[in-house]
Amino acid sequence: MEELQTMKKKQYLEQPKERISGSEAIVRCLLAEGVDMIYGYPGGAIMPVYDELYKYQNEIHHVLTRHEQGATHAAQGYARISGKVGVAMATSGPGATNLITGIADAQIDSTPMVCITGQVASHLLGSDAFQETDIVGISTPVTKWNHQITNAAEIPEVIAKAFYIARSGRPGPVLIDITKDAQFAEFDFQYKKCEGVRSYLPVPKTDKASLDQAAEIINGAKKPMIVWGQGVILAHAEEQLKAMIEKTGIPAAWTILGASAISTSHPLNIGMVGMHGNYAPNVLTNDCDVLIAIGMRFDDRVTGKLDEYAKQAKIIHFEIDPAEVDKNVKTDVAVLGDAKESLTQILPLLEVKTHKSWHQKFKDLYAIEFEKVIKNDLHPTKDGLTMGEVLNEINSKSGGNAAIVSDVGQHQMITCRYADFNVSKSNITSGGLGTMGFALPAAIGAKMAAPNREVIAIIGDGGYQMTIQELGTIFQQKTAVKIVVLNNNFLGMVRQWQQLFFDKRYASTEMTNPDFVAIAKGYHIQARRVSEREELGSAIEEMMKSQDAYFLEVCVEKEDNVFPMVPSGASVSDIRLE
């Protein structure tokens, strides 16, 4: 498949100049960039491009989502599991504005994506024409770059630049808005890949002095700790990180988006940091003498109260984006550059260590968390089902090899805490923006990008109903995703805050839900509901054995809470176990 795509790319890159329309040029540009999948929704202002896609449907598969937001999330899922640039397409006006949530999500989570929108004819710009919206102005704060094309001759250069910017350095979303007259106009087309943009330095050069300084601090540390983020995955630096922690014996924790870079079963993997992370890495953040951050941005959900975050430690920050250095946490040494290159270069400078007594502290605190939280989540004695035991059962049936796509809420935190990950790029979720409705369309994109992998969407009953219409996309495309809705008839995370901090005033958080099984069956998707513990194992086994899409609703305890928890505004060492 990869070889075929490379041949196609070469074919469209080596063509001599040819007079074609702007709309055909757009499609040929996409083929030259190796695009094989587009998620979108047609409309008047983008119709010329769709007419050309019809002619090239054997080379590019267009997926008709049921909403433009679904197209962006599907493109995100495709990009996150494949490492390629996801592509979404929409018409002008409401079609374009419906892309914004997914674009903002991709911007915060560094997901490479190119969005193409149609626009009214150039002579109508600024006239409040039907379905005219200034999508370039609207999307400017949430894109890595955007551009409006009014002249067909601009198309090859702008699209080449769009893909280069989207995938290079710290990845992100790019939006190209193309007027309808530019789509119809003819010009002499030839495509040339973009190899660089003036004044744009996607990967800063790693300074040897910073590597030497960082190595000296790490080698002298008595209680070092690593926190890695998604930057490790984006840089394909998983093996380098593993080699580093195994050589140095440094305990390593992860942010939500960093999960799966190293197997959850690795003995030096100490769990998740952050608001609902593991007890030991949160508490010992404020006890370590050196904190090594790799490809993470010190998000507030990780740091808690900033003026009490790791004040005793020397901070070393491996980072590709200079804007992230010293933005939230003051660093002692910043190692700029691509994480794979930086870790490769520093590895020979690091000494072999074990840090046995330091590791014991993590084990002791884990034992406390296990007794107070984990045991009750995974092996409950109460009558009702817990979200944790559902994940535990999924682990036993998947062997930790499935790609898990989670939505946003309590189930997301439970999934990140308890899912087993043996393969990188297996934890796909909305991190920075926290977009409810992300998981269902993102799982579609992930499954299409990796058809041989098991893709399981874990969703709450609230977020599920925000993009439930994408069941239609699953049905039409015959996409074999597995959907697990953990139904507690509440907006669970908000309810938890209302219980703990608002005296149980459950304002607008209780859900009266429809018959989810009947809806799934309406889309000809196998479906089952489980409410008893005795049924859970067989239901998940049935789901995993299915060769087609499968919907499983699990009715869980209504008022279960997710612990540990760092209360808003508190220090990470003030994490609560109950």
Please count the other Cβ atoms lying within 10 Å of the Cβ belonging to residue 128: 8
Q: Is 413 a catalytic residue?
A: no
What span, in angstroms and rounded, lies between the C-alpha atoms of 295 and 234?
Answer: 9
Q: Is 493 a catalytic residue?
A: yes
What span, in angstroms and rounded, lies between the C-alpha atoms of 546 and 549?
Answer: 7
- The catalytically annotated residue of 5, 9, 47, 131 is 131
Name the token pair of 236: 């394909």
Exposure letters 130-163 (e unless 16+ CB within 10 A, then b): ebbbebbebbeebbbbbbbbbebebbbebbbbbb
What span, in angstroms and rounded, lies between the C-alpha atoms of 30 and 315?
Answer: 43
DSSP three-state, residue 371 = helix
The C-alpha R_g of the chain, in whole angstroms, comes to: 24
Nearest to 487 by CA among 411, 566, 555: 555
Q: Is 511 a catalytic residue?
A: no
Query: What stretches of 42-154 adopt beta strand conformation (E)?
Result: 61-64, 86-90, 113-119, 145-149
CA 311 to chain centre: 30
Q: Is 189 a catalytic residue?
A: no
Q: Which value, to the nearest 10 degrees, does the dihedral of the CA atoms of residues 332, 333, 338, 341 take?
A: -140
- The catalytically annotated residue of 24, 59, 68, 238 is 68
What span, in angstroms and rounded, lies between the C-alpha atoms of 109 and 217?
Answer: 30
- The catalytically annotated residue of 493, 543, 544, 565 is 493
What span, in angstroms and rounded, lies between the C-alpha atoms of 81 and 442?
Answer: 10
- The catalytically annotated residue of 10, 11, 130, 311 is 130
What span, in angstroms and rounded, lies between the C-alpha atoms of 394 and 2?
Answer: 31
What span, in angstroms and rounded, lies between the C-alpha atoms of 389 and 482?
Answer: 17
Residue 477 main-chain phi, psi, to 5 deg:
-90, -10
N-to-C CA span, the chain = 51
DSSP string of 480-505? --EEEEEE-SB-HHHHHHHHHHSTT-
Q: Is 68 a catalytic residue?
A: yes
DSSP 411: H
In the chain, count of helices (H) and strands (E)? 25, 20
- The catalytically annotated residue of 84, 161, 180, 482 is 180
CB 178 within 8 Å of CB 22: yes
Nearest to 484 by CA among 447, 522, 457, 520: 457
Residues with catalytic annotation?
68, 130-131, 180, 493
